């Protein structure tokens, strides 16, 4: 799924500040994150993903029925756009290190707003391909920069848990946006489809404004912190409540103020990309990308398998998405516990690969079973895949931050995100041909590949540790 704080002057759609908790229902208060920075980021994410869910719901019909593209034209254009997204991630990450993640992110999200609105003006296939490539490039680039921003504004020991919370918000936002999209699909008119696309563009504008204001809000929070927090910041102690202090002062991790990159551009921006010269990190990125094939399994493989190769009711496809979404919402934050240390993160990835392998076999065995039993077995496989998904995501996030050099998170997140983007682009074709096309054998081979990727994560992380020792000794 895809993505996009709050003082009294913030827009009404932002999440409430911590001080307003007493006016909220107890059930909602328990679900609000205790860190005000994470709450602000969650508000931004919610706005972004509601817009994304709305546009994703109507995109195919908009492109084919409003713009008049054929299925082949749409597939070709989106493949080209996916390739542009892979290429754009690395330079976007480097730009974040040079000019500051927040500044770069505001620009990229603003460009994405203009590009998304531009679909309403497209009247030819070449124009569609060019615009789709541009939008995909800034979207994937902004994803890399956003992940680097999290490293700048969140303490090192809460980054992964913070991202897990934001991923839960992402799933909630996508669900809400998809619900709105269902209304648009039911109305099924050109003006409604255009309105949905333009509403997504407006959400990007709102997100750009909120990211622009993020630094000012952080500064206000820092001024509101009690003076007793200052010695902790000076002594290098980081706590969750000390997140806002990093707006004005560097922390022990060396992370700089996102609104004031300072010397980062001079120090890091002109050197060769360090992530591309970090062999262990590239291997970890590749292994995480292989584990990311699970998303293509969920979005493409399972629907095709259920409809074409089993007697399960077609509604099982929707049930699979519901099971996955609910399990991610319920388990993602919990899955990050204990993954702060890199060997634990590697173990989480190993477990994810093994559970994914089992899930592939379970899904495959739905073939040939009676309808209801086939549905139950397929949904059990999806439940296993969802469990592996939250473990793999938690481990991958932790490693992508832990293996990166402080002050170079943009470069590392750019490379890591490029691997994810490559999987998003190639995954559907791999799953639909190499897996579904070969039936039970294809599922078994995919399971073996996923298990191997998980098992290889431990040696790759140990290699990274040996490399760091050599660099320190030198």
Instruction: Grade residue 287 by pLDDT with cuts at 50, 70 and 90.
Output: very high
| CB-CB neighbours of 89 under 10 Å | 27
pLDDT tens for each residue of 377-413:
999 999 999 999 999 999 999 999 999 977 889 999 9
Question: Could you tell me how many residues make up the chain?
Answer: 474
CA angle (282 as vertex; 275, 138 as ends), nearest 5: 65
User: In sequence order, which residues have a C-beta less than 8 Å from that of residue 123 and are 6 or more positions away?
Assistant: 67
Confidence (pLDDT) at 273: 87
pLDDT tens for each residue of 105-117:
999 999 999 999 9
% pLDDT > 70, the chain: 81
- The string of DSSP codes covering 167-182 is HHHHHHHHHHHHHHHH
Assess contact for 290 and 450: CB atoms under 8 A: yes
Give the mean pLDDT of 314-333. Answer: 91
Assess contact for 147 and 41: CB atoms under 8 A: no
Q: What is the pTM of this model?
A: 0.79
Assess contact for 321 and 315: CB atoms under 8 A: no
Q: Within 13 A of 20's CA, how many CA atoms are on the CB side?
A: 13
How far apart CA 129 and CA 299 sit, in angstroms, is 23
How far apart CA 289 and CA 460 sit, in angstroms, is 14
How far apart CA 42 and CA 15 sit, in angstroms, is 7
Instruction: Grade residue 443 by pLDDT with cuts at 50, 70 and 90.
Output: very high
pLDDT tens for each residue of 226-283:
433 333 333 333 333 333 333 333 333 333 443 333 333 334 445 688 999 999 999 9
Is the pLDDT score of 90 beyond 70? yes
Assess contact for 200 and 51: CB atoms under 8 A: yes
DSSP type of residue 14:
S
pLDDT tens for each residue of 305-316:
998 899 999 889
Residue 228 sits at φ, ψ, to 5 deg, of: -65, -15
Mean pLDDT of the chain: 83
Q: Write out the two tokens for 139.
A: 């979207």
């Amino acid at each position: 799924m895809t993505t996009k704080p709050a003082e009294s002057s913030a827009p009404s759609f932002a999440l409430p500040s911590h001080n307003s908790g007493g006016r909220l229902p107890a059930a909602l208060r328990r679900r609000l994150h205790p860190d005000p920075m994470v709450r602000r980021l969650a508000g931004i994410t919610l706005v972004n993903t509601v817009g994304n869910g709305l546009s994703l719901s109507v995109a195919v019909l908009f492109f084919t029925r409003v713009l008049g593209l054929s299925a082949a034209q749409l597939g070709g254009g989106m493949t080209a756009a996916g390739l542009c997204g892979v290429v754009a991630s690395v330079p976007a990450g480097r730009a974040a290190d040079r000019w500051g993640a927040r500044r770069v992110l505001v620009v990229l999200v603003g460009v994405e707003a203009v590009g998304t609105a531009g679909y309403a003006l497209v009247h030819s296939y070449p124009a569609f391909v060019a615009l789709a490539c541009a939008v995909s490039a800034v979207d994937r680039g902004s994803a890399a920069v956003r992940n680097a921003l999290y490293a700048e504004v969140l303490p090192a020991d809460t980054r992964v848990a913070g991202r897990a919370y934001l991923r839960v918000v992402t799933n909630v936002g996508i669900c809400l946006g998809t619900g709105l999209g269902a209304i648009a699909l039911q109305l099924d008119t050109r003006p409604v489809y255009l309105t949905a696309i333009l509403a997504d563009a407006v959400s990007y504008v709102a997100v750009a404004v909120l990211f622009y204001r993020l630094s000012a809000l952080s500064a206000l929070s820092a001024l509101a912190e009690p003076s007793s927090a200052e010695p902790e910041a000076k002594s290098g102690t980081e706590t969750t409540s000390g997140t806002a202090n990093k707006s004005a002062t560097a922390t022990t991790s060396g992370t700089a103020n996102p609104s004031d990159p300072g010397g980062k551009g001079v120090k890091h921006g002109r050197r060769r990309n360090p992530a591309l010269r970090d062999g262990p990190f590239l291997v970890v990125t590749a292994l995480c990308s292989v584990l990311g094939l699970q998303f293509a399994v969920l979005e493409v493989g399972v629907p095709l398998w259920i409809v074409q190769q089993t007697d399960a009711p077609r509604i099982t496809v929707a049930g699979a998405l519901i099971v996955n979404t609910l399990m991610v919402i319920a388990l993602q934050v919990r899955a990050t516990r204990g993954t702060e240390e890199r060997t634990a993160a590697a173990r989480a990835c190993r477990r994810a690969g093994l559970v994914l392998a089992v899930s592939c076999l379970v899904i495959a065995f739905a073939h040939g079973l009676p309808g209801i039993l086939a549905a139950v077995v397929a949904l059990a496989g999806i439940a296993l895949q969802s469990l592996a998904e939250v473990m793999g995501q938690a481990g991958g996030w932790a490693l992508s931050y832990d293996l990166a050099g402080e002050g170079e998170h943009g470069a590392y997140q750019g490379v890591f995100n490029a691997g994810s983007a490559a999987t998003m682009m190639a995954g559907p074709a791999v799953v639909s041909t190499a897996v579904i096309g070969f039936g039970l054998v294809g599922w078994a081979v995919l399971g073996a590949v996923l298990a191997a990727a998980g098992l290889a994560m431990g040696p790759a992380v140990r290699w990274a540790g040996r490399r760091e020792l050599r660099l320190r000794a030198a």
